[in-house]
Homo-oligomer: A and B are copies of this chain.
Amino acid sequence: MDSMWAHEHGDLVAEAARLLRERGGRMTAQRRAILEAFRSASEHPSAEELFAIASRGDPRLNLSTVYRTLRWLAKENLVREITFSEAGRSSRFDTARPAAHHHFVCTGCGAILEFDAAEVAALRRRMERRLRVQVDRSTLVLYGRCAACSQPAGKRSPG
């Protein structure tokens, strides 16, 4: 269960370092802090959340640096940007994984579940033929209520 993705959060730093070396970029303390922040962040952190975490180690860190780093990471495919319509106007990020995965968002408590669905790949291929297009990327988000939130109020466990 722990090596089903090509890289875990841990090697984000190593991965980024490698890319930076290749491209003549620099591994700064700020970048390292931001990359490491993914470890303790929620599954789909916003820039703000990563900033809050990364700032703990270095209070001088600036939010714009976080944005710049995230944009760079997204371009290099180490991180992917997602937009949930429930999540206010802000973007969320997750560490990009090779396998396409999709999201369920609970409109009650905001919980996000990830899932993989093989049929999406088939659907993409079918749509490529039907619409005569080339599909590079897809996002599937289900919105609803998770088990806890869909229970009638009376039956819900306190808390």
Q: Which residues of A contact B (CB under 8 A)?
A: 81-83, 85, 89, 104, 106-107, 113, 115, 117, 119-120, 122-124, 126-128, 130-147, 150
Contact = CB atoms under 8 A, between A and B. Distances in A.
The oligomer's copy count stands at 2
B136 A115 contact: no
Given A136-B143, A138-B142, 9 more contacts: A85-B139, A113-B131, A117-B126, A119-B119, A119-B122, A127-B142, A133-B147, A134-B144, A138-B143
Nearest to A85: B83
B119 A131 contact: no
A145 B136 CA distance: 8
A157 B33 CA distance: 49
Contacts of A137: 142-144
5 contacts: A104-B133, A117-B123, A119-B122, A133-B146, A138-B141
A10 B158 CA distance: 49
A75 to B, nearest CB: 14
Contacts of A117: 123, 126-127
A26 B131 CA distance: 42
A65 B135 CA distance: 37
A142 B128 CA distance: 10
Contact of A133 (B81, B106, B132, B134): B106
